[in-house]
Amino acid sequence: MANFPLALAPGACLSCRQQKQRCDRVIPSCSRCVARVVKCTYTARDQAALRQIASVSQFAADTLVILRGLCPLDVSPAGERALLWAACARQSTFVDDADAPQASLSCIINDIFDSAGVHVVGTVRSYFDIAHHWLPILDRDNVLASTENFVAQKAVSAVEDDAFALMVVCMYLFITPPCQHANHPVRHTLYRTVKSLFSILQASSDTTAQVLLMQSGIILATHEIGHGMSKDAYETLIACRSLLQRINLHNHITNFAGQTGPHVSLNRLQLDLCLSAIILLDMTVVLSTVDHDLPQLVHPSQVPQDSLLHRASNEDIYGEDAVRNLFARAQHALRLGDMSRSIGSSTDLAQCEAIEKTIYGQIGSYISKTQGGRFPLCETVAMSLSTLMVLYRKTNYLTSAVGDAKSNMAATCAYNLIIDTCRVESELLQRHGWHNSRRPCFLGLCCLLAASVHLDKLCPNGLEDGDAQQLRQALTGFSSRWKLGGELSARRWTYGVLADRVKMCFWDSLETATGTGSNRGPACLGRDDWWNFSRRQLPGGSAVRANATWDETARRLGWNS
């Protein structure tokens, strides 16, 4: 202290502020920081001092995280500053020799995981176990090898290391169940920080880092979809689409210069997988968002002519090749997107009937070709059913079809498919959990549950008692893992059930169905209208059974021809 004048700072040092301790404000180090052997830093306005605020050496690693018993990891305000400053410092070209070395973003993330006791390799393996079979955008062996280097802090490329570290955090967010504490929101500090890091790191011009960022964004968007953050997921997908366009521009310039090789081919497969994932997630957001309509991000005309996505066929939907299966599901999502746009702009009854027949034809084709082997697990069926509910909700097709036996049976078939699929998937979830290699299909479940809520609202009297109970069980099981917008407060039951997405309350419909609530129904349908599913009588007196099989319905409606 002899080399420094004894003076007092105008405010407490950052360490004492963070610990909420009294500070004697002695410059250059307060007595408390000297006793704890930590770096003491005061708020300063000069550029050199500001860049030292986020240095990890300033605080002990355990001050960067917040651990609350069994609650998931979160970062403290100091951890948030450290992460954001490290990301900004990486993009800065200003260097001051007097500055202390700035810890890299990947090192800080590694320290945070280590301090919180998070097993990074186990986190990555869990992600692949849960998501890779239906969203195969990553190479498992390469990612695991990079994870080992990340844990060992073996730097390969500073920019790529930071992008990969962000991907690991996104994987952690995805595999971690939501905190059930009422005061711990889904948009916690770690999530908000990751969103900021995702935006900051996009300034990099490194193509490999951009690919990693795009893959990170896809994982992050999947997390947001599952927790009901539709608008956030949509914005993330917009950023991913922008990154993809930047990478395609770079590849175009590179190919024009005559640079070819295996790396270009591999990069092309990566980009097509990411494009397919963006298409699939985009359609999932559109179909699982009930309270407002979102435009489709990618149209068929925007898919490059040389994309590998065009090489997939409808048969690949039924195959076991995960990559070709993803391409085929993306093609199906594009077709549904065309139908959704037609629904929004059409008032023609004949066109609505044609769309309905096409959707049922797709469902029937899938079920017949698999002989029910994988049904009801499939985005094809779930997205088709959700699109069908959009058709019924956005047009006056139901009102126009009153008294039509074919339409009545078609609506009954949709009702049975949705309710039975919710029941089966709920049972599979209870039996196998989320680590099953075949079930459940996460994106399909999002669309399926949205379709079930549409269905509940379209029924004049709500769902029947038993069906409402099945839907309740399905929503309860799903919301224990995915928040889907938070919990319903001030209700008899409290659990997350699409609260951000659905402005109507499911339990209001349940009360209506059981006769304990108000008699309400959609404005376009009366309480005594045609849709009485369990007691529908067709001409000739033959009743449509509640458990009518697909084959019987298809035969009566002529869909097998």
Residue 41 pLDDT: 79
Tens of pLDDT, residues 215-248: 999 999 999 988 888 889 999 999 999 999 998 8
The size of the chain, in residues, is 561
**382, 388, 325: which is closest to 355 by C-alpha?**
388
Q: What is the pTM of this model?
A: 0.74
Separation CA 76–CA 81 (nearest Å): 9
Cα angle vertex 282, ends 444, 378, to 5°? 20
Tokens of 441: 């299909």
Residue 211 pLDDT: 92
The residue ranges of the chain whose pLDDT is under 70 are: 1-7, 43-62, 69, 91-102, 154-157, 180-182, 254-266, 290-292, 344-347, 370-377, 396-407, 432-441, 460-462, 480-561
Tokens of 348: 């023609």
Cα angle vertex 292, ends 377, 425, to 5°? 15
Ordered structural domains, the chain, with CATH: 1-43 (4.10.240.10), 50-257 (no CATH), 339-557 (no CATH)
Residue 560 pLDDT: 45
Residue 370 pLDDT: 65
**389, 393, 424, 380: which is closest to 410 by C-alpha?**
389
Residue 499 pLDDT: 30
Q: Rounded mean pLDDT of the chain? A: 72
Residue 234 pLDDT: 92
Tens of pLDDT, residues 42-68: 764 333 443 444 444 445 566 788 877
**Contact (CB, 8 A) for 27 and 8:** yes
Q: By CB neighbour count within 10 A (0-12 exposed, 13-18 middle, 19+ buried), where does 503 fall?
A: exposed
Residue 6 pLDDT: 52
Determine how many CB atoms are found less than 10 A away from the CB of residue 333.
Answer: 25
